[in-house]
Amino acid sequence: MLNGIVVLNKARGMTSSDCVYKLRKILQIRKIGHAGTLDPEVNGVLPIAIGQATKLIELMHTKPKSYIGSGMFGKRTDSYDLDGEVLETKAVDVPFTSDEIISGMQKLTGKINQMPPIYSAVRVNGKRLYEYARQHIEVQRPVREVEVYDYSLTGDPVYDEQEKRQSFDFAIRCSKGTYVRSLVNDLGQELDCPAVMTSLTRTASSGFDLSQAVTLEDIESNVEHPEKWLQPIDSFFYDIKTIDLNDAQYNRVKNGAGIKLNQPDKKVALRYNKKIKAIYQKKDDIYRPDLMLLKNE
């Protein structure tokens, strides 16, 4: 049984569900799930949990995500990207300076309240927002708090004098639930000029980045060699103190019993036979189960 995380470099034009479906067929495994949907036209890191690693999906969501992308001043769409219906255009007669753009980005950094795009998978009254949008039904979109750790300009903005448009490249590091499309749209609002996202790549998610990513083709051509494309479950817990258990301790842990450890850390990863078998958390000087991974082999 395979247990681990595929750091997939998702191609543009595929949904996240398409990727899971294809992996199920390639690997002949049902127990697969992705951590963090990517829009079809966004490429980059899509972590996919397999086997025992599916227990990590909720934890995977809690780690920051990083993106690089491009935007354009002078146009606004209902989807906040180029796939949507154009709602507004405005000639950029005087291009923005880098400092003006950076200043707008800084106002959207930190903990902010964000409204998701109408074309998104957020649920309202049991239906996805995009379902309301396709049926042209007005609906109140929920505002929620997200955190933007970094929103930066990554090069000089480019002005098209003939088209009266200005494009810019950016990098973003943010919490789960953040819509980068909305950050581009909101930047336009900060600068009083319509803006739209023109491209996006996710460079990191769930503690993994593009340098570790593989394609579906890589996996299909190396099905018999998972070491070439599968990240072990243990790699996800790189930032947690790991404790090796002796036989007596493991006998207690595999039955879910609490154990005493002379450790200062509130949370520890417990390893036996070179594999993490459980995450324990300290409560009243006793470490007790937080997450069990006994089938991590």
Phi-psi region of 274 (alpha: psi -120 to 50; beta: other; left: phi over 0): left
Q: How far is CA 205 from the centre of its chain?
A: 5
From 18, 39, 78, 234, the catalytic residue: 39
- Rounded CA-CA distance 66/203 in Å is 5
DSSP code at position 74 = T
265 has catalytic annotation: no
Task: Check if the beta carbon of residue 231 is closer than 8 Å to that of residue 259.
Answer: no
SS3 state at 60: helix
Q: What is the DSSP string of 214-247?
A: B-HHHHHHTTT-GGGT-B-GGGGGTTSEEEE--H
The residues annotated with a catalytic role in the active site are 39
